[in-house]
Amino acid sequence: MTIFNLKTSIFRIFSAFIIAFFLLSCGGNKQDDTIAGDEKTATEKESKDTLVQSIFYSVPSPIETATLIQKTGVPYNKDYLNDINNVSKYTTTGGKALGLGVYGTDLSFTSIYDQTQESMLYLKCANNLSSGLGISNAFDQSTADRIEANKGNKDSLLGIISESFWTADSYLKDNERPGTSSLIIAGGWIEAVYIATKIAESSKNQDIVLRIAEQKFTLDNIVKMLKKYDFDATIADVYKDLMDIKSVYDQVTLTKSAYSTATDSKSGITTVGGKNQLNMTPEQLKTISEKINTLRTKITK
Amino acid sequence: MQRQSGLRFTLFIAIALVWGFSFEASAQCRSVAKKQCFPQLAPYTQNGQFNSVRLAGGETAEVQMTFYAGQNYRLMVCAEGVLGDVSFKVSSADKQEIFNSKKTDAKMWDFNVAATQQLIVLVEVPPSDSQTKIIPEGCVSILVGFKKL
């Protein structure tokens, strides 16, 4: 290489750095990790209206829901969970994402109820689908090894499964696929509510019925989350079905009372008071159960 | 001809650099959340969702989420030091303020709710006092952990 060529190459690389610097500084200083392409337009509009740069919708994890259901004392019933043989039926990206949500919830339930052998089977299903979505290290062999090693230690098990969900969620959001992430969340929610309605049908447990009524709030966040990405056909379809269920939840009335807060000086934990009362009629519960059953059948068969 | 290929080479390097920097910035938020923030959530179990965003001085982000009665929660905002003292406040769905970290100087809030409800978390980055035109930008993660009451 002559000195002239070397100088030219250095000049070109230096120019590339200058151009890159300008592109990075002129392209807007907001690199919203969770929003990609067309999705960004919707949020930017929302941001202008509210003066908030980024709005997220977050829902409780299936592990949380499973924990609360187990706390009511209802026994484990594997018949309510998705058949592991259905795993091969999920062929599209949207189908795999919904399936991963469903199996993720089933994995949470089997773990909460100490069904380690079945947890391993559901973990395999979750691994199969997450690999199909291009997510590595989420529900893989090392997760299986850790679950095996922590058998009997529920807190550790829940931590391991939560970490897997987080790995999948953060991978998808980092790779500008938040729509896929929202489908996993929707699939997980549908499965959790399906299981809860089945338990309510057989046990008539009023604590479970209250947990189903409380899904009014979570569903509200899920539909807002999906709405951001409804340019995708699968998301639009799930959104439509969930809006149909939401129309029933909209009739579930909420009686609010004044807020109060009190902090325990020993634990430092604040209790947010106020007894909000949800009133769901047996007819509303029946309609929600039927609609959830139909939607769950649609996404698992 | 040689000039054209030189221009293409320069543009290719520039685009690769832009893509590389953007991806690095995004992956950095994940890394910051996992390494710096997760340990502080213990003994609470994190809820499996990644809510993170890059913000600059004076900017805000909001998370709307459901909290169940019967659980204890830890809400934590984790931000890169370059952003200064990032604060957060928690309001009810009808915008009644319930908690403001500025009043307690806390980076996290442990709480439970008597009745299941939606809460809104608003995160605020203090305005930048930088004298230069380059405004510092950094990752802000909003984490939620839960444990049995």
pLDDT the model gives residue A49: 44
Structural Rg of chain A based on CA atoms: 23
For A161, the closest chain B residue by CA position comes to: B48
Cis peptide, bond prior to residue B43, ω within 30 of zero: yes
pLDDT in the model for residue A53: 77
Is residue A33 one of the residues assigned to a domain? no
Domain boundaries, chain B: 6-148
A-B Cβ pairs (cutoff 8 Å, strict): 205
C-alpha angle with apex B45: B95 to A108, nearest 5 degrees? 105
Mean pLDDT of B4-30: 58
A65, A162 in Cβ contact below 8 A? no
Question: Residues A264, A269, A271, CA angle at the centre, nearest 5°?
Answer: 80
Q: Which residues of B touch A275 (CB under 8 A)?
A: 114-115
Domain-located, residue A166: yes
- What is the reported pLDDT for A126? 96
Quote the pLDDT of residue A301: 81
Q: What is the C-alpha to C-alpha distance for residues A232 and A238, in angstroms, rounded to an integer?
A: 10
In tens digits, what is the pLDDT along chain A, a chain of 301 residues? Answer: 555 566 666 666 566 556 554 544 433 333 333 333 333 334 444 444 446 878 999 999 999 999 999 988 999 999 999 999 999 999 999 999 999 999 999 999 999 999 999 999 999 999 999 999 999 889 999 999 999 899 888 888 899 999 999 999 999 998 999 999 999 999 999 999 999 999 999 999 999 999 999 999 999 999 999 999 999 999 999 999 999 999 999 999 999 888 889 999 999 999 998 878 999 999 999 999 999 999 999 999 8
Q: Is residue A57 part of a domain?
A: no
- Compare CB distances from A64 to B26, B56, B71 and report the shortest one's residue: B71
Q: What is the pLDDT of residues B27-46, one digit of tens each?
A: 678 888 888 888 999 999 99
Residue B108 has pLDDT above 90, yes or no: yes
Q: Look up the domain containing A115 and give its range.
A: 62-252+281-300
Question: In this structure, which CATH number among 2.60.120.380, 3.30.1490.100, 3.40.1160.10, 2.40.50.100 belongs to the domain B6-148?
Answer: 2.60.120.380
**Pairwise CB contact (< 8 Å): B99 & A261:** yes
Q: Pick the residue of B7, B15, B44, B47 with the most A CBs within 10 A to test the interface with A by mutation.
A: B47
- Identify the pLDDT of residue B25: 52
Place of tokens 């549908």: A190
Verify whether the Cβ–Cβ distance B66 to A217 is below 8 Å: yes
Residue A213 maps to a domain: yes
Mean pLDDT score of chain B, rounded to an integer?
84
Give the pLDDT confidence score for residue B68 in this predicted structure. 95
CA distances from residue B102 to A265, B110, B142 in whole angstroms, order as listed: 19, 15, 16
Chain B positions in Cβ-Cβ contact with residue A150 (cut-off 8 Å): none
Global pTM value: 0.83
Chain B hits for A71, CB-CB cut-off 8 Å, are: 70, 148
Which ipTM value was assigned to this complex? 0.81
Asked if residues B60 and B125 have their Cβ atoms less than 8 Å apart, the reply is yes
Number of domains within chain A: 1
Cβ–Cβ gap B11/A19 under 8 Å = yes
Q: Which residue of A7, A69, A105, A170 to mutate against B (max B Cβ within 10 Å)? A: A170
Residue A52 in domain: no
Q: What are phi and psi of B111, to 5 degrees?
A: -160, 170
Residue A24 forms part of a structural domain = no
Report if residue A260 sits inside a domain. Answer: no
* CA-based nearest distance A207→chain B, Å: 11
Q: Work out whether strand A277-279 and strand A253-255 pair parallel, antiparallel, or are unpaired.
A: antiparallel
Total residue count of chain A as it appears in this document = 301
Nearest one of A276, A111, A77 to A194, comparing CA atoms: A77
**CA nearest to B112 within chain A:** A271
Residue A142 lies in a domain: yes
Distance from the Cα of A159 to chain B's closest Cα (Å) equals: 6
Residue B28: its pLDDT value, please?
Answer: 76
CB–CB of B148 and A13 under 8 A? no
Beta carbons of B126 and B50 less than 8 angstroms apart: no
3-state SS assignment for residue B61: strand
- The long-range contacts involving A231-236, CB below 8 angstroms and separated by at least 24 positions, are A231/A38, A232/A94, A232/A179, A233/A94, A234/A92, A234/A93, A234/A94, A234/A95, A234/A97, A234/A98, A234/A183, A235/A94, A235/A179, A235/A182, A235/A183
